[in-house]
């Protein structure tokens, strides 16, 4: 007696799996406890250095894997390829950073690693802009003002507080502003994507992606502030935020692949 195959229901895949969220929370807490309580800041190659690199690598590979699922499509194939390349550029930048710091014993900031880090922004922005524009051709005035307004506001707030701390114009101050603006622009585009897809079957996937990019952006801005004032350490919570952001991005990519 033959049985009828169960029909795939994409709406079931569009819902959050709270077990997965719980695992991410547990891994986040465990990671922070490890780097703050167990890992010693002794100047040697640290667990935190390699885990961030691996999280970027895994995110990039997974994004490229998702892009293969949509090979030949009008938008998803090329946009997820761009996102995958952007995430792999983060991996390349971090490997270069580590090599300069731990092998060459040179100051890795600024260095060639920054080229990889900065190119991440246009690739990721392309992914977001192309997807959003494909599904919504016209935006109201509020949305048009929001895209540049949020990055400018975050950058100005960062400049105000960091300038007051370092008491003067320095190269690191202006160079940090580039990173802050790039991260904030990615955040504003991700939020815009949530507004476009919130009532669609992709709403949860885009919400997860926006949360991941928000945590990544928040950690980036926080990091550049700490670097300016000389308070960054490998035990700082921002290292955990970076790892968590990649876990959420991977989950968002998984949800997108399963939904469509």
Convert the pLDDT of each residue in 118-155 to its tens digit. Answer: 999 999 999 999 999 888 878 888 888 999 999 999 99
pLDDT for the residue 176? 85
pLDDT for the residue 128? 92
Phi/psi of residue 39, nearest 5 degrees: -70, 125
Residue 56 has pLDDT above 60, yes or no: yes
Range of the domain at 254: 46-259
pLDDT for the residue 47? 67
Residue 44 has pLDDT above 70, yes or no: no
Q: What is the mean pLDDT of residues 18-44?
A: 82
Q: Is residue 203 part of a domain?
A: yes
Q: Is residue 15 part of a domain?
A: no
pLDDT for the residue 155? 92
Residue 4 has pLDDT above 60, yes or no: no
Number of domains the chain is built from: 1
pLDDT for the residue 27? 95
Phi/psi of residue 54, nearest 5 degrees: -65, -35
How large is the C-alpha radius of gyration of the chain?
A: 20
Residue 43 has pLDDT above 50, yes or no: no
252 compared with 201, residue with greater pLDDT: 252
- pLDDT tens sequence across 187-199: 899 889 888 888 7
Residue 2 has pLDDT above 50, yes or no: no
Q: Is residue 24 part of a domain?
A: no
The token duo for 91 is 């991996």
What b/e readout covers 64-83, taking b as 16+ CB neighbours within 10 angstroms? Answer: bebbeebeeeeebbbbbbbb
Q: Is residue 65 part of a domain?
A: yes
Q: Is residue 70 part of a domain?
A: yes
pLDDT for the residue 6? 42
Residue 45 has pLDDT above 70, yes or no: no
The token duo for 235 is 């035990």
Global confidence as pTM: 0.86
Residue written as token pair 């585009």: 189
Q: What is the mean pLDDT of residues 32-48?
A: 68
């Amino acid at each position: 007696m033959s049985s009828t195959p169960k029909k795939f229901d994409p709406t079931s895949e569009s819902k959050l799996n709270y077990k997965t969220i719980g695992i991410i929370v547990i891994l986040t807490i465990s990671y922070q406890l490890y780097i703050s309580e167990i890992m010693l800041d002794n100047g040697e190659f640290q667990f935190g250095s390699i885990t961030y690199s691996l999280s970027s690598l895994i995110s990039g590979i997974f994004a490229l894997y998702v892009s293969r699922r949509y090979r030949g499509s009008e938008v998803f194939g090329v946009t997820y390829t761009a996102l995958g390349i952007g995430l792999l550029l983060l991996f390349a930048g971090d490997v270069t950073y580590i090599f300069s710091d731990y092998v060459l014993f040179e100051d890795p900031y600024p260095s060639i690693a920054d080229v990889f880090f900065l190119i991440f922004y246009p690739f990721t922005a392309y992914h977001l802009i192309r997807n959003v524009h494909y599904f919504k051709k016209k935006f109201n005035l509020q949305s048009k003002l929001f895209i540049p307004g949020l990055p400018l506001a975050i950058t100005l707030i960062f400049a105000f507080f960091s300038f007051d701390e370092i008491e003067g114009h320095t190269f690191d101050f202006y160079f940090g502003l580039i990173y802050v603006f790039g991260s904030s622009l990615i955040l504003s585009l991700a939020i815009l994507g949530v507004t476009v897809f919130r009532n669609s079957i992709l709403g949860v996937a885009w919400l997860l992606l926006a949360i991941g990019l928000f945590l990544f952006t928040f950690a980036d801005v926080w990091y550049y502030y700490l670097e300016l004032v000389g308070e960054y350490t490998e035990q700082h919570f921002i290292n955990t935020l970076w790892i968590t952001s990649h876990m959420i991005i991977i989950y968002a990519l998984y949800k997108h692949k399963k939904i469509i």
